[in-house]
Amino acid sequence: MPQKKDYYGTLGVSRDASLDDIKKAYRLLVKEWHPDRHFEDKKVAEEKFKEIQEAYEVLSDPEKKKLYDRFGFVPENGGMPNSDGYSGSGGFEDVFKDIFGEGRAGTGPFSDFFDMFFNDSSSKSQRRTSQPPQKGEDIRVNVTMDMREVLEDTQKTIEYNKYEACPACHGNGSEHGTSFRKCPRCNGEGTIHEEQRTFFGVFVKTYPCPTCNGLGKIIEKKCSVCSGAGKTFKNEKFIITIPSGVEDGFILRVTGKGNSGKNGGPNGDLLVGIRINSDKRFIRKGTDLETQVDIDYLQALLGDRIKIPTLEGDVYEKISEGTSPNTVIRLKGLGIPDFRTKKRGDIYVRINVKIDKPSIREKKLLKELAQMRGISAE
């Protein structure tokens, strides 16, 4: 017959103590008798610690407690720990759940602790997974265009190099996509189980196999096309439509035209950077353009039709008599289209009046004109 033990005395609680009282007493005793706090007599602390653990195992379990109260001990088939180690997942796990919440192995900050000490099967099933899908890398290219091309939607052919999934192995790196063998390190399980002996007993720690990265299989023969890389280098040509009104430095994103993904993940994107050559005739400000035109002072005095540049060619505009220097005129609707609304901006033209040194004949005529206006010209 098993030796009778006073579990109530071990925890220092009465026989009618509630589960909360039992847990409270257990937490205090665990802290007090933890072996790491008794360097001077660690073996005694370890024995005391095991007694506290054993008592809590019984008194915190209603079925075991019922058997203990009736017979003074718990039969071997009642779930008591044997001499080799620890069975069940009450004890520490219940206390940690009580202190830190209902987190289980693999789901909380103490997943490694529970996985090592309680060998939770749900944790093993969660960790035994293949590599997650990964999106491919984006590719950046630049397109250069003249300001004139911004006036309307423009098609450009882009040529670049990219990685794509190897067509011979479908991206898995093995010959014909099927040349795999069972991982010898984990025996195809995808996980490694390591036994660790502690003063609690023998525990098993589980983690993904580093040889096969949790897949359970390794490549037996590498793909002859991609040499096991799972991807090949390809020159790609792509026609892109650049919308009117686009500004210098704008980036267009083309989904799925980048490098191929990994483990079934999506392709990356193609990022097209727009570079617009400047036009020395104009200064761009949003959808408007600014320019300057030089005219003779006689044109300013008498009025005239002057030539003004635009992105679509020269136009002629009439200026009034007596136009002052630095006068600004506006040409509506001849600027840049708005990127979204497509409504075109304007061109603002600054008039520069040039006054050159007159010839002898011009000077004579100007003096006569000055006398007519009562101006004394030396």
Q: 43, 172, 22: which is closest to 94 by C-alpha?
A: 22
Tracing tokens 């502690």 back to the chain, one arrives at 198
Task: Tell me, yes or no, whether 15 and 99 share the same domain.
Answer: yes
pLDDT of residue 257: 92
pLDDT of residue 216: 84
| Segment among 90-99, 167-176, 362-371 with least mean pLDDT | 90-99
Is 219 contained in some domain?
no
Greater confidence (172 vs 237) lies with 237
**How far apart (Å, rounded) are the C-alpha atoms in residues 362 and 136?**
75
Q: Decide which of 244, 259, 278 is a domain's last residue.
A: 278
Average pLDDT over residues 63-69: 84
- pLDDT above 70: percentage of residues in the chain: 81
Domain enclosing residue 366, as ranges: 283-372
DSSP H or E segment with residue 156: strand 154-165
Q: Most distant CA pair in the chain: distance in Å?
A: 143
pLDDT of residue 105: 41
Is 67 contained in some domain?
yes
Task: Tell me, yes or no, whether 255 and 293 share the same domain.
Answer: no
Average pLDDT over residues 133-143: 92
Is 157 contained in some domain?
yes
**How far apart (Å, rounded) are the C-alpha atoms in residues 197 and 327?**
93
Residue 300's region, left for phi above 0, alpha for psi from -120 to 50, else beta, is alpha
Task: Tell me, yes or no, whether 14 and 61 share the same domain.
Answer: yes
Instruction: Quote the tokens at residue 185.
Output: 């390190």
**How far apart (Å, rounded) are the C-alpha atoms in residues 50 and 171?**
53
| Segment among 3-12, 39-48, 114-123, 186-195 with least mean pLDDT | 114-123
Q: Is the pLDDT of residue 308 over 80?
A: yes
Is 227 contained in some domain?
no
Give CA angle at 96 (92, 97), nearest 5°: 115
Radius of gyration over alpha carbons of the chain, in Å? Answer: 43
Is 211 contained in some domain?
no
Q: Is the pLDDT of residue 214 over 90?
A: no
Task: Tell me, yes or no, whether 18 and 122 share the same domain.
Answer: yes
CA atoms within 13 A on the CB side of 269: 8
In which band, very low, low, confident or very high, does the pLDDT at 108 lie, cut at 50, 70 and 90?
A: very low
Average pLDDT over residues 188-201: 76
Task: Tell me, yes or no, whether 154 and 270 share the same domain.
Answer: yes
* Identity of the highest mean pLDDT range in 86-90, 210-214, 230-234: 230-234
Is 209 contained in some domain?
no
Task: Tell me, yes or no, whether 104 and 145 share the same domain.
Answer: no
Q: How far is CA 22 from CA 100, 155, 224, 268, 377, in A?
A: 17, 77, 66, 57, 118
Is 257 contained in some domain?
yes
Task: Tell me, yes or no, whether 46 and 71 share the same domain.
Answer: yes
CA atoms within 13 A on the CB side of 211: 16
pLDDT of residue 357: 87
Task: Tell me, yes or no, whether 28 and 109 share the same domain.
Answer: yes
Q: Decide which of 278, 312, 340 is a domain's last residue.
A: 278
CATH number at residue 124: 1.10.287.110
Number of domains in the chain: 3
Q: How far is CA 179 from CA 172, 232, 361, 362, in A?
A: 10, 18, 99, 96
Kindly give, in sequence order, each residue whose CB lies less than 8 Å from that of residue 116, ignoring residues fewer than 6 positions away: 196, 203, 204, 205
Greater confidence (171 vs 90) lies with 171
* Identity of the highest mean pLDDT range in 33-37, 101-105, 309-313: 309-313
pLDDT of residue 194: 82
CATH number at residue 363: 2.60.260.20
pLDDT of residue 348: 97
Is 81 contained in some domain?
yes
pLDDT of residue 113: 45
Task: Tell me, yes or no, whether 67 and 161 share the same domain.
Answer: no
Task: Tell me, yes or no, whether 268 and 313 share the same domain.
Answer: no
Average pLDDT over all residues of the chain: 81
Q: Decide which of 75, 100, 129 is a domain's last residue.
A: 129
Task: Tell me, yes or no, whether 349 and 319 share the same domain.
Answer: yes
Task: Tell me, yes or no, whether 239 and 161 share the same domain.
Answer: yes
Tracing tokens 């400000």 back to the chain, one arrives at 285
